[in-house]
Amino acid sequence: MIEKIKALLSEIEQLKASSIEELEAARIKYLSKKGIISALMDDFRTVPVEQKRELGMRVNELKQKATEKIQLLKEQFEHNGSSYTETDLSRTAYPVPLGTRHPISIVKEEINDIFKRLGFSIAEGPEVEDDWHVFSSLNFADDHPARDMQDTFFIQSDPQIVLRTHTSSVQTRVMEKTKPPIRIICPGRVYRNEAISYRAHCFFHQVEALYIDEDVSFADLKQALLFFAKEMFGEETKIRLRPSYFPFTEPSAEMDISCNICGGKGCPFCKHTGWVEILGCGMVDPNVLENCGIDSNVYSGYALGMGIERITNLKYQVKDLRMFSENDLRFLEQFQSAN
């Protein structure tokens, strides 16, 4: 048996493997439960007592040498770029590249973060809505011409059910259930029956904000707008408010910012005016407050709303709105550094 151990020891010292498969076969041959060394240990029980000490030491030495030799060969494969690990059959056959967040999501989160710092919380609501929350509660009479301002998708089986045209419906739901003070932003997807082009789509994304409390004034609105513009587009950004009309606010205004491309000097993007319109705003109409069960003699508030695609256009100079929904990786991969 001693001669057999010496022969195996010499064999192991000269062991070589040209592949991971060969190395695994050698490990099984010498070190597995049914391998040569295990068989020697089984034979050890038949050895005379006076020889057990010497043979035991030689078998242990053989096992140690075999383990060290196979470990050495394994490390050489790893050093050469061949990793000796058990195959994970749950892994995909090819490396999966990491994705990137969508530019709309990036800008939406940035808008949300700015208003959160002003104390606003996020509110969400259903995209399939009823006429009351989308129109009637917001001061749109049944025959009001302002209903034509927004081409609406109606559910054919029930004309009182619509796809929301703005996230103002979330504001009315909150006002119905919440006692002021109310300070919320409402991000979400909205739908309008419009022809799809480079500047319009049948669905897009909005963020609207609502603040209701005692003694809220237009000055509070202007300060919030100025803070948002500077945080989103840079400290040098200027704003201007132009009178406008919305059924749910009075007075109403549209807000422009100084063009962030030319710095207000005039360029093709701002049509050489130096200003770019980004949102609508105003003081909440008292009728809207009353419709939602809020005493307009005690409380006042402001509301504002913007299209996320519009803000994204300004931030990244994306000229075609259709690119946001086409899932073209060549376009989306440009925003990896913006994550």
The answer to whether the beta carbons of residues 97 and 82 sit under 8 Å apart is: no
**Separation of alpha carbons 175 and 304, rounded Å:** 15
pLDDT tens sequence across 103-155: 899 999 999 999 999 999 999 999 888 888 888 888 887 776 656 655 777 77
The confidence score (pLDDT) of residue 84 equals 47
pTM for the model: 0.66
pLDDT tens sequence across 285-339: 999 999 999 999 999 999 999 999 889 888 888 878 888 888 888 888 887 655 5
Q: What are the residue ranges spanned by the domains of the chain?
A: 2-79, 103-338
Confidence of residue 173 (pLDDT cuts 50, 70, 90): very high
Q: What is the DSSP letter of 181?
A: P
Instruction: Count CB-CB contacts under 10 A for residue 43.
Output: 13
The least confident of 44-48, 169-173, 322-326 is: 44-48
Q: Taken in order 176, 177, 179, 184, is the CA torsion positive or negative?
A: negative
User: What order of strands is seen across the sheet that includes strand 128-130?
Assistant: 128-130, 158-163, 154-155
Yes or no: is domain 103-338 CATH 3.40.710.10?
no
Return the closest-CA partner of residue 72 out of 30, 157, 15: 15
**Separation of alpha carbons 72 and 270, rounded Å:** 69
